[in-house]
Amino acid sequence: MKKILLIAVTLFITTLSNAQEMKTVPQIVVSGEGKIKVTPDQAVITVGVENTGSEAADVKKKNDEAIDAIIKYIKKMKLSASDYQTQRVSLYKSYDYQKKKNTFTASQNIVIQLKDLTKYDELMMGLVDSGANVIQGVDFKSSKVAQYESEARIKAVQNAKAKAADYALALNQKVGKALLVSDNSMTNYPRPMYAAMKMESDAGGLSRETLAIGEIEVVANVTINFAIE
CB 219 within 8 A of CB 35: yes
pLDDT band at 99 (very low <50, low <70, confident <90, very high): confident
Q: What are phi and psi of 75, to 5 degrees?
A: -65, -35
The pTM of this model reads 0.69
Q: Which residue has the higher pLDDT, 197 or 104?
A: 104
Answer for the pair 66, 131: CB distance below 8 angstroms, yes or no.
yes
- pLDDT range class, residue 9, cuts 50, 70, 90: very low
Which amino acid is it at 214? Answer: G
Residues 37 and 146 in one domain: yes
Domain presence at residue 229: yes
In angstroms, rounded to a whole number, what is the distance separating the alpha carbons of residues 211 and 131? Answer: 21
How many angstroms from the chain centroid is the CA of residue 12?
Answer: 48
- My answer on whether 34 and 103 are in the same domain is no
pLDDT tens, 73-87? Answer: 999 999 999 999 999
* Per-residue buried b or exposed e for 108-140, using 16+ beta carbons within 10 Å of the residue's own CB: bbbbbbbeebeebeebbebbbebbbbbbbbbbb
Q: Kindly report the number of other CB atoms within 10 A of residue 75's CB atom.
A: 11
**Within a domain: 203:** no
Same domain, 59 and 115: yes
**Separation between Cα atoms, residue 94 and residue 132, nearest integer Å:** 23
Is residue 35 predicted with pLDDT exceeding 70?
yes
Total domains in the fold of the chain: 2
* Phi, psi (degrees; rounded to nearest 5) at 161: -65, -40
CA 149, CA 213: separation in Å to the nearest integer?
Answer: 20
Average pLDDT over residues 154-159: 97
- The CATH number for 96's domain is 3.30.70.2970
Domain boundary among 75, 105, 140: 140
Domain boundary among 97, 119, 140: 140
| CB atoms closer than 10 angstroms to residue 103 | 16
How many other C-beta atoms can be found within 10 angstroms of the C-beta atom of residue 168? 17
Asked if residue 62 belongs to a domain, the reply is yes
Domain CATH code at residue 221: 3.30.110.170
Same domain, 187 and 101: no
Q: Are 43 and 124 in contact (CB under 8 A)?
A: no
170 and 90 in one domain?
Answer: no
Domain that residue 175 falls in: 25-41+142-196+213-229
Residue 201 pLDDT > 50, yes or no?
A: no
Q: Does residue 34 share a domain with residue 78?
A: no
Cα–Cα distance measured from residue 187 to residue 207, given in angstroms and rounded to the nearest whole number: 34
pLDDT band at 192 (very low <50, low <70, confident <90, very high): very low
